[in-house]
A and B are shown apart, each in its own frame.
Chain A
Amino acid sequence: GAGVSQSPSNKVTEKGKDVELRCDPISGHTALYWYRQSLGQGLEFLIYFQGNSAPDKSGLPSDRFSAERTGGSVSTLTIQRTQQEDSAVYLCASSFQMNTGELFFGEGSRLTVL
């Protein structure tokens, strides 16, 4: 597609359940990023991929969070045993190459944990 696509756009889950959020970047973009936007807070960096590798996972809040990217394209962010504090909008972005600073963001996946 023309832009970064994220699914689902909205997800309501019960505490303790696992969730998967998907990101389909712009075709040809080698770098992919996950950020989290919580109410009243700025965007929080979670992880980025260059190709299929994730050189920096330091932003993941806990070991319940994991992400993978396959084929240098689609990425999945998985949250296990969700907690209420995981409620946020999860944003995915991609860029053609590193070090340009221009990230193309999707509309996000809004996660609500009851």
Chain B
Amino acid sequence: AQSVTQPDIHITVSEGASLELRCNYSYGATPYLFWYVQSPGQGLQLLLKYFSGDTLVQGIKGFEAEFKRSQSSFNLRKPSVHWSDAAEYFCAVGTLNTGFQKLVFGTGTRLLVSP
């Protein structure tokens, strides 16, 4: 069965600094990978997704992620963090067998932004 690991529970970044959130997945075939963000008082929102093709995908709010098959990773990056980026970030994987009905989510990384 597929699984997702987000090794960092909390990360604190200074405003304006760069950000990288780690995500590792376990799945034997080609995964479909997603990053969602959960801001306080809001539902989860899709930031970006990888299905195939270019391994560097661009998302909303200036985020990007790179799929590295050799490392089973799909890390999320942003060159310059804004205070409004403080939220919880979830990586998720879907598979061809299950479509996207049963996304498997990681435990999340809470991002704190310091002034």
What residues of chain A have their CB less than 8 Å away from a CB belonging to chain B? 3-4, 31, 33, 35, 40-45, 48, 55-56, 59, 91, 93, 95, 98-108
Docked-complex contact A42 and B105, CB < 8 angstroms? yes
Docked-complex contact B105 and A107, CB < 8 angstroms? no
B34 at the interface (CB under 8 A from A): yes
Q: B interface, how many residues as a size bin?
A: 20 to 34
For B102, the chain A residues whose CB sits under 8 A away are 45, 48, 56, 59
Q: Kindly identify which residue among B34, B43, B94 contacts A4, using a CB–CB cutoff of 8 Å.
A: B43
The B interface is mostly helix, strand or loop, or mixed, namely strand
Docked-complex contact B44 and A91, CB < 8 angstroms? yes
For B87, the chain A residues whose CB sits under 8 A away are none
For A98, the chain B residues whose CB sits under 8 A away are 99-101
Docked-complex contact B43 and A99, CB < 8 angstroms? no
Docked-complex contact B94 and A101, CB < 8 angstroms? yes
What residues of chain B have their CB less than 8 Å away from a CB belonging to chain A? 4, 32, 34, 36, 41-46, 49, 51, 90, 92, 94, 99-108
What is the bound-complex CA distance between A44 and B92, given in angstroms? 11
| Given the contacts A42-B90, A101-B49, A106 and B43 also touching, CB distance less than 8 Å | yes
Min Cβ gap A108→B in Å is: 7
Q: Kindly identify which residue among A42, A56, A99, A108 contacts B106, using a CB–CB cutoff of 8 Å.
A: A42
**Extra A-B contacts (11), CB below 8 Å, given A42-B104, A43-B105:** A35-B105, A43-B44, A43-B103, A45-B102, A91-B43, A91-B44, A93-B43, A99-B99, A101-B46, A105-B43, A105-B45
